[in-house]
Amino acid sequence: MLGRKVNHKVFGCGTITELTSAYLTVNFGDSEKKFVYPDVFEKYLTSTDPELMEQVDKDIQFKRSAHSNSVLSAIHSSATSTQPQMRSQKHVKKVERSNIAFKCNYCDGGKGQNHIGFQDVCSDSVLRFNIEKARHVWCSSEDSPCRWYLDGEITRKELESMMSGGHGLDSVCYESHMLRDWMASAGVVQTGTDKGKPMRLLKVQKNSLAVLTTREPNAASDESRFVFAVFLVDESYEGDNRDAGYVTTNSEWKIELAPTEAHKILFWNYYANPNAPKKIVFGSGLHRYLSDTQAAQILRDIVTVKNNPKEKEFAQRFFEHFCKINGIDLDGVSLPNGALVQDR
């Protein structure tokens, strides 16, 4: 594929100079551009080279069908299994449903008086903090568009265009579209021998509560980690060896907290590490599982911090709906007993 000619809708004719499992680099004469492969060929890149396009079509079809094929394979295996196999499956323990809290890098993209961010590219100051000081894995990666911008490889305008199709992308990172698309990903393993491998979500199902947490840049400790949004999951994907697990929603059951509200819902008021209750640190893991009681406590307290009457009324309905579908007595929800509470 290297050396093959392609044509881009915006940048014109170019030559492929590098290809990895996820990215394609094209030289357009006066500049080089990186694109997501093979996605960019669906809208922005074309070629008159039949061999190249045949390979691209195969890669696109493979990417589209990878997940569905694995599901169909599992269904087929179940349908054609023998009777002894079916009997043995009765002893397989079902995974208990849990709620989930995500550790999110701070993103002020789209921030305003009533919006915490997480809807666009970070400001230059936050972008620089995430890359140079915090050194977050994706932010500082050589494959990160924000890193390209900071290194002068692309302009701010090009970076922002990546939120809506530029370079074949529709976002620059997980956080930049969390509250635009109401979707959260398990991400990849950040340390150790499995670094870079997709992470799975084993306990999340429909009607699990997804809790999105972050902390301000330069925060002294994780004690200040706060909840900035919650939503009721109506679609989840466990993940596999190619793609990380994710959760999303298209339902009405979602709440974004304004900055002043979010800072009042401290995550560690509700959660404590099971094996080290007094240790207030998220660590390298990107998510934590929560009980229904912990989830209900968070929803109940969101009601108390909402000032807008309509938003407060909806938050109350959300709390009541969650309790109803999970068989929780509204008046029986206990007070929070997280690490910050235990430490008082």
Q: What is the pLDDT of residue 338?
A: 96
For residue 9, give the amino acid letter: K
The DSSP output letter for 277 is: T
How far apart CA 220 and CA 13 sit, in angstroms, is 50
Q: What is the pLDDT of residue 17?
A: 93
How far apart CA 196 and CA 242 sit, in angstroms, is 11
CATH topology classification for 1-65? SH3 type barrels. (2.30.30)
Residues of the chain with pLDDT under 70: 9-10, 21, 43, 63-95, 344
For 86, residues 6+ apart whose C-beta sits below 8 A from its C-beta are none
Q: What is the pLDDT of residue 126?
A: 97
Q: What are the structure tokens assigned to 276, written together?
A: 């080290």
Q: What is the pLDDT of residue 21?
A: 66
For residue 201, give the amino acid letter: L
CA quadruple 196, 198, 204, 206: dihedral sign: positive
101 to each of 175, 192, 212, 219, 255, how far by Cα in Å? Answer: 14, 22, 6, 19, 14
What global pTM score does this model have? 0.76
Q: In the chain, what are the domain boundaries? A: 1-65, 99-119+179-342
Question: 15, 30 in Cβ contact below 8 A?
Answer: no
Q: What is the pLDDT of residue 65?
A: 64
> For the segment 136-187, what is each residue's pLDDT rounded down to a tens digit?
988 998 889 999 999 999 999 999 999 988 887 889 998 999 999 999 988 7
Q: What is the pLDDT of residue 92?
A: 43
Nearest to 248 by CA among 212, 195, 223, 281: 212
In this structure, how many other beta carbons lie within 10 angstroms of the beta carbon of residue 305? 18
